[in-house]
Amino acid sequence: MTKRSLLVVGLCCGFLIGSSAWAQEAPAQGAPEAPPAQGAPEAPKDAAPESPPADEAPKPPAADAPPPSPPSDPAPAEESPGQASPDAAAPDGEAPAEPPPITKLPKAVSLQEGEFPQKAIDDGIEQTEVVLTIDIDAQGQVEGVGVQTPSPHPGYGFEDAAVAAAYGFMFEPAMAGETPVPVRVVYTFKFFMKPAVPEEPAPGEAEQEPPPPDPVVNMQGEMVVRGTRAPIPGIVITLFRGDPKNPDAAYEATTDKDGKFQFYDLEPGVWNVLAESKGFFPYRTSEKIVEGKLTDVKYYMEKGGYDGYVQIVEGVRERKEVNRTSLQVAEIEKIPGTAGDILQVVQNLPGVARPPFPGLIIVRGSAPEDTQTVLEGMTIPLIYHFGGIRSVIPNPMLKGIDFYPGNFSAQYGRATGGIVDVRLKKLQPERPGGQIDISILDSLLYLETPLGDNAALAISGRRSYLDFLIDAVASQQDDVNVIAAPRYYDAQLNLQYRPAPGHDLRLFGLLSDDLLRLLFSNPGDGTTQLEGNDFNNTTSFYRGIADYVYTPSENFSNTLRVSYGLDQTKVNFGQFFFELDQTVLQVRDTVSIGLGDSVRWNVGIDEQYTVASFDVFLPPPPKEGQNSPDGGDGPPDLTNVLSTTVEDQSRHSLGLFTEVEIKLFEDLLLIPGVRYDWFSLVDAHRVSPRFTGRYVATEQWVVKGGVGLFYQEPQPDETDVTFGNPDLGPEGAVHYSAGFEYRPLDYLTLDVTGFYKTLFDLVSPPASRDVGTPFDLVGLAQSPAATDLDVEAILGDLASDGIPGQQLTNTGIGRVYGAEILLRHDLANNFTGWLSYTLMRSERRDRQGAEWRLFDFDQTHILTLLGTYRLPRNWEVGLRWRLVSGNPTTLALGSKQRTNEDDFQPVNGPTNADRVPAFHQLDVRVDKTWIYNSWKFGVYLDVQNIYNRENPQAISYNFNYLLSEYSQTLPILPILGLRGEY
């Protein structure tokens, strides 16, 4: 029987000496454990010099170099930084300086077997070892090898063989931070007896000595990631017996792309199993091999850290805009104070004001309706349930968001403020999986699965249970009968199919439904102006969006998106109601053509067709600068009620855009573009030229700037004949911005941008003194047609001329100027976060001759500091601290009592002439995830306003406006949530 002994080289690991010392303690938190340190030789106290002595570096044998062994990875995993050695040499004869700490050890890429000397074989020596010192340069090459401890069997040539083999080693260099550095390691080279190679049988001898039997697999298995069950390819699994430092026998196998591995011809008995890889905790176990039986195992190896959700890395998109902040789900979903809603994270970016309600996005001093939130360029009617509780698309469906605070591309339109573009995740699941997320608000179920090799499907659904909670409380209060309160749900479907390279199809469906019904038994307790006691609010919509992306080459791509959906809203409170029913069709196609290496042309069309019916009986909604419930400046006056009914009103919003990306000298990117918009409702055509430029001065410095024209049509109610003025035109803005980016480290960016924005043709209400009264029609009455008080003529003229009292005009203008600073730390070193600061002023003038006043949400200083840090054992801690100027407010100078209505109405001072005190708040979030073999379970605690600051939100008054105090934002608010991921 053929003797099967072993020869394993480089089994042992090394010590760093010289410029840095090996870290011998436990691994750094969050990093995988080090290989076992027990039994490893200690580094000498008197470390060797950086360059080995010449006489210790025998030349490698050239002719009889042993053949390379199979790839093996005995190198240690990433370790904690070591301490610098005090005697490290300084370059260029300068005073010795402390070398940087080693943050990563060299890792063996390839090893060489050492030749077992024949004389030793002849003398029956089966194993021995030689301790070497190996100098590895900054490229991972072996510069020199010295013998530190010779073999206990002198004279056989083990030292020469070990040195010769070591010169053939290749390493990944050691790292000090981001810099590769030369190091010296101590390496124990072990020799074992090679198996005797059976001699080729001579012809005719075959019948006497049969060939060895085929290997028999008696152990096989699969190595997967604990918690996610993702296979781990390329990991070395070692089976050994005896002392791990000096095993009696050892075998290795490497997992294939599916994480599978096999061992064969293992001797029966107990074997120790060891698997190590960077980013994972070492895996140790033992298996009992029974003769004649196959041992089938599945190993779950725990990662050093887990992302919130696995994201597909698609490469870094080139930056082309003056300002674009891209946020990935995994990066931001654990930011405190956002309830895990990534859209709310936008409110922490520079240039974005702190809103009174979470659903508003106020960008660079523009009104909330001036900023569009789109789904990959396609409009959806609602981003949030109930205006801000929760976004209608859950995080697992999303890849992230792109935020453009100004000077955005010509590909975007219908907005004069900013753009928030929500991006869907590209599905590439390797196996079925899912997620369950349970929070105090709602529960989410998300499932995804591959469909063959070229398709994947994801579905999700979410439902709130606030209605159950409120029902439980409200049942004790007969005043308010909660019939259905408040309930929301949403559902999504994402089907992706790639029939052939260059062809990508996607179908995305979205359904959302909000419902709230209240019945007040005693509505007069709040107001005498109600003729009913029920409040109903139902809002639902669905969208189906089909995408086809054709990319035959890198020089051509066509992206076609078609969206169709229905929006329905019905709300009433007493006699007041608002009903909307509209169908929306949107088609968007973008062609991108590369014209050589330095020019790319983008051109496209964006058509939105809407058919809407609505029925409204409401007070006119307040305009910016008027008293508004949002601002807390007074109660709504329900005595002035307007009504309108419109059936099947159709409107087009057509956009055509083109832009050219021109790269000059590799470093300068210029993008001139232009957009044409037709707003059919106001029958207006607008052309918007835009230009941005970026100059990459160095690898670290970028200079950028842009100027552009932007338009949006008035809000639907503003062009209604009753509520507004059908003769209004679009609102416009000119954006100017310039700044620079500085990237001192791969993961650290400083972005500074100054901006100036002029707003024109803003829709503004007339001054009250300008509002006509019926008696102001005296001129009309004195006309020849009315000399005999021709009532019909007067009324007819009035009807055709519109209603003076509601006559909105495009007379408003505005100006916004300021600067933004963003210092961002991308996800690296277990930390992500940013510091943003905005200094800004936003003003409005409602009409010619009026005084400039502050914008409703003007905030001079906006400072946000946030970050999350990953701790060992899957703990994460995050914090967010905000310091923001208070919003402008209009003071009540007194009041008048209305006895028929039994209330008081405030007499206001100058609009937005005062300001509430500054806001500051600290939010903290702690996440803990437990990893089980097939799933993960997480708990998070999000505590908002942890030091319970009484932040003024607005001024509230007593019933007759003689007493006032600040209404407060929420006090300390802990939110607990659970999450399971399969």
Partner 1 sequence: MTNSQLTYRRLLGALMALSLGLGGGVIGCDEGFPDFNEVEGFRVLALRADPPAIVPGETTTLQALVYFEGNVLPPPDYSGDAGTDGGFEQDPDDPVDAGVDPDMGAADDEAPAPPTYRWTWCPFRLPISEGGDCYYEDEAAFRQALGDLVVLPEDLSFDLGSGPTAELDFVLPALLLEVLCDPIETSSPSLAGLFGLECNGGFPLSVELQTEYDGQTISVLKDVFLQPSPEADYNTENPTLIDEVSYKLVEDQNDFGQTDIVEEGALPLTKDGTVELELGESYGLWMNLEDDSAQLFTPLPTEPVPNPEPRRETLFVTWFVTSGDTQYRRTTRLDGKNDPALIRENVWNLPLKMDEDAEEAQLFLVLRDERGGQDWLSRKVRLVR
Residues 701-760 that bind partner 1 (CB under 8 A): 712, 715-717
Residues 833-852 that bind partner 1 (CB under 8 A): none
Sole residue written with tokens 């277990």: 830
- Looking at beta carbons only, is 95 or 789 nearer to partner 1? 789
CA atoms within 13 Å, Cβ hemisphere of 163: 21
Return the residue of 302, 376, 567, 981 that touches partner 1, per CB under 8 A. 567
Structure tokens at 896: 């008048």
∠ Cα 334 337 341 (to 5°):
60
Nearer of residues 527 and 649 to partner 1, judged by Cβ = 527
Q: Which of 258, 267, 776, 950 binds partner 1 (CB under 8 A)?
A: 776
**Counting Cβ atoms within 10 Å, is residue 653 exposed (0-12), middle (13-18) or buried (19+)?**
buried
Interface residue with partner 1 among 55, 199, 200, 531 (CB under 8 A) is 531
Place of tokens 């009035």: 798
Minimum separation from the CB atom of position 335 to partner 1 (A):
20
Q: Does 609 bind partner 1 (CB under 8 A)?
A: no
- In 197-314, beta strands by DSSP E: 217-225, 236-242, 247-254, 260-264, 269-275, 283-289, 295-301
| Least spacing, CB of residue 916 vs partner 1, in Å | 15
CB 275 within 8 A of CB 240: no
Q: Which long-range contacts (CB under 8 A, 24 or more apart) does 911-914 make?
A: 911/625, 911/853, 912/625, 912/853, 912/854, 912/855, 912/856, 912/858, 912/888, 913/853, 913/854, 913/888, 914/888, 914/889, 914/890
Q: Tell me the sheet residues that pair with 871.
A: 875
**Residue 949 CB, nearest approach to partner 1 (Å):** 18
| C-beta of residue 427 within 8 angstroms of C-beta of residue 457 | yes
Q: Decide if residue 788 touches partner 1 (CB under 8 A).
A: no
Please select the residue that binds partner 1; options are 39, 233, 629, 872, rule is CB under 8 A: 629
373-392 positions binding partner 1, by CB under 8 A: 373-374, 379-384, 387
794 scored as a contact of partner 1 (CB under 8 A): yes
Minimum distance from residue 914 beta carbon to partner 1 (Å): 15
Q: Which one of the spans 733-741, 778-786, 841-849, 877-885 is the region binding partner 1 (CB under 8 A)?
A: 778-786
Q: Which is nearer to partner 1, 29 or 639 (CB)?
A: 639
Structure letter (DSSP) for residue 90? P
Q: Smaller CB distance to partner 1: residue 684 or 803?
A: 803
Looking at beta carbons only, is 196 or 791 nearer to partner 1? 791
Q: Which is nearer to partner 1, 414 or 925 (CB)?
A: 414
Q: Does 307 bind partner 1 (CB under 8 A)?
A: no
Q: Which CB, 665 or 775, lies closer to partner 1? A: 775
Three-state DSSP class for 160? helix
User: Which of 45, 257, 317, 769 contacts partner 1 by CB under 8 A?
Assistant: 769
Q: Which is nearer to partner 1, 560 or 803 (CB)?
A: 803
**Touching partner 1, residues 437-466 (CB under 8 A):** none
Binding to partner 1, residues 872-901 (CB under 8 A): 895-900
What is the nearest approach in angstroms of partner 1 to the Cβ of residue 805? Answer: 5
Q: Which stretch binds partner 1 (CB under 8 A): 249-257, 261-269, 304-312, 958-966?
A: 958-966
Which is nearer to partner 1, 158 or 508 (by Cβ)?
508
What residues from 240 to 279 belong to the interface with partner 1 (CB under 8 A)? Answer: none
Stretch that binds partner 1, among 246-254, 307-315, 327-335, 962-970 (CB under 8 A): 962-970
**Counting Cβ atoms within 10 Å, is residue 890 exposed (0-12), middle (13-18) or buried (19+)?**
buried
Which pair of tokens denotes residue 221? 């298995």
User: Between residues 285 and 522, which has the closer beta carbon with respect to partner 1?
Assistant: 522
3 state DSSP class of 18: coil
Is the distance from CB of 883 to CB of 861 less than 8 angstroms?
A: yes
Smallest separation (angstroms) from partner 1 to the CB of 838: 19
Binding to partner 1 (CB under 8 A): which residues in 338-377?
Answer: 359-361, 368-369, 371-374
Query: Which single residue is written with the structure tokens 């007379």?
Result: 811
By beta-carbon proximity to partner 1, the closer residue of 189 and 904 is: 904
Q: Give yes or no for residue 910 binding partner 1 (CB under 8 A).
A: no
Residue among 294 and 799 whose Cβ is closer to partner 1 = 799
Residue 529, class by beta-carbon neighbours within 10 Å (0-12 exposed, 13-18 middle, 19+ buried)?
A: buried
Smallest distance from partner 1 to CB 578, Å: 5
The one-character DSSP state at 780 is H
**What number of chain residues touch partner 1 (CB under 8 A)?**
113
> In the stretch 489-528, what mask flags binding to partner 1 with x, by CB under 8 A?
-----------------------------x-xxxxxxxxx
Residue where the block lists tokens 């196998």: 253
Rule CB under 8 A: say whether 537 interacts with partner 1.
yes
In angstroms, how far is CA 863 from the centroid of its own chain?
21
Exposure class string for 935-958: b at 16+ Cβ within 10 A, else e: bbbbebebbbbbeeeebbbbbebe
**Residue 563 engages partner 1 in binding (rule: CB under 8 A):** no
Concatenated DSSP letters for 556-581? EEEEEEEEEEEEEEEEEETTEEEEEE
Tell which positions 578-597 bind partner 1, by CB under 8 A. 578, 580
For residue 81, give Cα distances in angstroms to 22, 28, 129, 177. 8, 8, 29, 9
- Strand 384-385 vs strand 390-391: parallel, antiparallel, or unpaired? antiparallel
Site mask for partner 1 (CB under 8 A), range 416-435, x = bound: ----x---------------
| Interface pick for partner 1 out of 768, 784, 848, 849 (rule CB under 8 A) | 768
Q: Cβ distance 710 to 735 under 8 Å? A: yes
**292: burial class by Cβ within 10 Å (0-12, 13-18, 19+)?**
exposed
Closer residue to partner 1, CB minimum distance, 52 or 634: 634
Spatial distance between the Cα atoms of 881 and 924, rounded to a whole number of angstroms: 9
- Contact positions with partner 1 (CB under 8 A) in 395-414: 414
Phi, psi for residue 280 in degrees, rounded to 5: -125, 155
CA 26 and chain centroid, separation: 33
3-class SS at 335?
coil
- Dihedral sign (CA 10, 11, 17, 20): positive
Binders in 180-239 for partner 1, by CB under 8 A: none
Q: Is 322 in the site for partner 1 (CB under 8 A)?
A: no
Closest distance of CB 379 from partner 1, Å: 6
- Residue of 193, 289, 297, 530 interacting with partner 1 (CB under 8 A): 530
Binder to partner 1 among 83, 555, 933, 956 (CB under 8 A)? Answer: 956
Rounded Cα distance between 325 and 416, Å, is 18
Q: In the range 632-671, which residues lie near partner 1 by CB under 8 A?
A: 634-640, 643-645
| Start-end of H helices in 428-540 | 466-474
Among 874, 905, 945, 969, binds partner 1 (CB under 8 A): 905
Q: Which is nearer to partner 1, 170 or 571 (CB)?
A: 571
Q: Which stretch binds partner 1 (CB under 8 A): 23-31, 192-200, 437-445, 905-913?
A: 905-913
Residue 965 interacts with partner 1 (CB under 8 A): yes or no: yes
* Interaction between residue 544 and partner 1 (CB under 8 A): no
Q: Contact 852/812 with Cβ under 8 angstroms?
A: no
Contact between 590 and 603 (Cβ < 8 Å): yes
Distance, CA of 392 to CA of 565 (rounded, Å): 15
In the range 142-161, which residues lie near partner 1 by CB under 8 A? none
Instruction: Tell me which DSSP letter residue 525 carries.
Output: G
Figure out which of the listed residues 656, 803, 821, 978 binds partner 1, where binding follows CB under 8 A.
803
